[in-house]
Amino acid sequence: MILRSIVSALRTQNWTAVTIELIIVVIGVFIGTQVANWNQARLEKAATERMLVQLVPELQFQVDYFDHSRTYYATARRFADQALAAWRGDRRLSDEQFVIAAYQASQIIGIGVNAQNWTLTFGGEQLRNIADPQVRRNLEFVLTQDYSPVQFEAVATPYREQVRRVIPIHIQDLIRRDCGDRQIKNTFLTHLPPVCSLRLPPAEAKATAAALRARRDLPGELNWHLAAVAVYQANADILEQPIRALHRDLSNS
């Protein structure tokens, strides 16, 4: 209809009508483009909000892990203190409990975070679609952090390897069977039993304890292991705060 009017006005050289019709066309195109852009922005914002909602369960797992890891490593530390006392000559700990404590002290867990996947999901455009500056700031922190200091490898120290070279594998199997990590119901988390009442064959317990005491390097390696765990927990504390804040804000939104 507008095109026909413009052609007719051109034929009659009605320049005023031509100008008016062209202005109408330009305004129509501009409004149509703006509406399309607004609608696209609305869809992108809605998609970002859906992705943030889907992130909540993963953040909940991370928060649960940080809470749980403190208890886990506190339990492992008590076993480590017992083993160190035995290496220093304290004979109040039986050979059996010394072997168990030396093994349990080497138990570790680590968080599995694939921040690269999160970064691919939340690119620059998605971040700009987040209106809340605090949520955006915490998400940027979560996306850009190096999570290697709180992963399994950060605490897989030489002590863990060396003590398991000394303890016979069938004894390790018994300890893992009766006192190893136990999965927490309805989660992917595990806990370390605080007490191990496993009974080992006396002769094997005595021989293994003697082999452990003969390794004068192991107390030093255990000290280094405990230092690595302490650094691990300090790094976890730093990472935990923005993750916890982001989880709280998204859960309440």
Please report, for residues 53, 105, 220, the alpha-carbon distance to residue 112 in angstroms, rounded to integers and kept in the order given. Answer: 20, 21, 29
For all residues of the chain together, what is the average pLDDT? Answer: 82
Partner residues linked to 190 by β-bridges: 183
- Whether the Cβ atoms of residue 129 and residue 48 lie closer than 8 Å to each other: yes
Count, in order, helices (H) and strands (E) of the chain.
10, 2
**248 closest CA partner among 138, 122, 110, 119:** 138
Q: Name residue, tokens 């000394």.
A: 166
Strands (E) across the chain are located at: 182-183, 190-191
User: Is residue 16 pLDDT above 90, yes or no?
Assistant: no
pLDDT digits (tens, 9 = 90+) for 177-207: 999 999 888 778 888 999 999 999 999 999 9
- Each residue's pLDDT tens digit, 70-110: 999 999 999 999 999 999 999 899 999 999 999 999 999 98
Confidence grade of residue 219 (pLDDT, cut at 50, 70, 90): very high
How far apart are alpha carbons 133 and 122 in whole angstroms? 15
Cα–chain-centroid distance for residue 136? 18
